[in-house]
Structure 1
Amino acid sequence: MLNDNLLLSLDINKFLSERLYQKFLMMQNNLSLQPEVRLVGMMKYLKSYSNFQDQYSFEISLTRKQLASLTGLRIETVIRTIKKMEKEDILRLENGKIFF
């Protein structure tokens, strides 16, 4: 089937290479010892799959517990870091929701 449809083969390879690149970027972010780097990397990854490009336009739909699980941090560290990032104008908190 792939031999007959070269465009399909190219599309599959493009999709797989993009996913592999995103996973590589996530791995690099999660190797960092700084929680800000891990969280910003996760948020950029999530935002990359949306059409929102403006600052504070993308709502992070994950809970603090889910963010902690995905980044390998403790929930308390995620909460403290998010508050610190808000003070540094990296993200915005509105009614407990995170906008990146």
Structure 2
Amino acid sequence: MILNHFNCSNCRQMHIDTDLLYTWGAVAKKVPKHAVIFFENDPPLSYYQILEGTVKMSYTNEDGKDLTIGIFNEGNSFGEPPLFIEQPYPASAEAQTDCVILKLSKTNFFSLLEENPEIQSRVLKLFAWKIYNKIVFSKNIINHKPEYRIQYFLDNLKRQHNSKPSQKMKIPYTRQEIADFTGLRVETVIRTISLMNKNKKIEIIDHKLFY
């Protein structure tokens, strides 16, 4: 069934069956750590899905500061929205680890969607969830104290990874990246995380965060 070709994990992340992608001409490429997959303002020409590794998307603001907008892991796709609106990428994508990435041409990707309307419907639902989550996230971040912002960010991250509240999860972000996501200064994040660790709301092991 077509349903088996698409897994959206509560429609927060997109994952199309790899065999189906290969059928439509996808090619697996090895991407070394720190290699750039595409740059900010490049035209979108392909659909990307991670087989192995981690990819970060970020952009440079007017002050020259690198701001992270997302980190994607095995099974996730990334950079797909610009394909649908024929606009350049708003951020660059860089391999955070050695990666293996499936790459499918834009033309073949849209042909795949046309032949599989169930996948097309779920892609639209995924985009709706992304817009909804961004609004809810902003609503819960703006005008709140630093600890609330950080804790909300971490709770949201655990939900995205289907991690149980009672389980400790290793946080895959640096203090700077948490600052970027929450709109705080990195010094504030470091100070607040230290306080949360002291109050046993978060655990720090070898400089790594667990929540």
Q: Same fold (TM over 0.5)?
A: yes
1:53-72 paired onto structure 2 within 5 Å = 53-72=164-183
- Asked if 1:75 corresponds to 2:186, the answer is yes
Relative to its length, the structure with more strand (as a share) is 2
- 1:86 Cα deviation (Å)? 1.8
- 1:4 Cα deviation (Å)? 7.3
Relative to its length, the structure with more helix (as a share) is 1
CA–CA separation in structure 2 for the residues paired with 1:6 and 1:70: 34
What amino acid maps onto 1:27 in structure 2? S
CA–CA separation in structure 2 for the residues paired with 1:41 and 1:19: 17
Provide, for residues 12-46 of structure 1, a one-character-per-residue CA deviation record: whole Å limited to 9, x for no partner. Answer: 23212221221112201221230011111221222
CA–CA separation in structure 2 for the residues paired with 1:29 and 1:83: 22
CA–CA separation in structure 1 for the residues paired with 2:175 and 2:114: 46
- Asked if 1:18 corresponds to 2:18, the answer is no
- 1:59 Cα deviation (Å)? 0.9
TM superposition outliers: structure 1 runs of 4+ over 6 Å: 1-4
What amino acid maps onto 2:161 in structure 1? S
C-alpha contact 1:68 1:75 (8 A) present in aligned 2? yes
CA–CA separation in structure 1 for the residues paired with 2:165 and 2:183: 27
RMSD: 2.2
Number of aligned residues: 100
Aligned residue in 2 for 1:91: 202
Higher Rg of the two aligned structures: 2
What amino acid maps onto 1:23 in structure 2? K
CA–CA separation in structure 2 for the residues paired with 1:77 and 1:21: 28
- 1:3 Cα deviation (Å)? 8.1
What amino acid maps onto 2:197 in structure 1? E
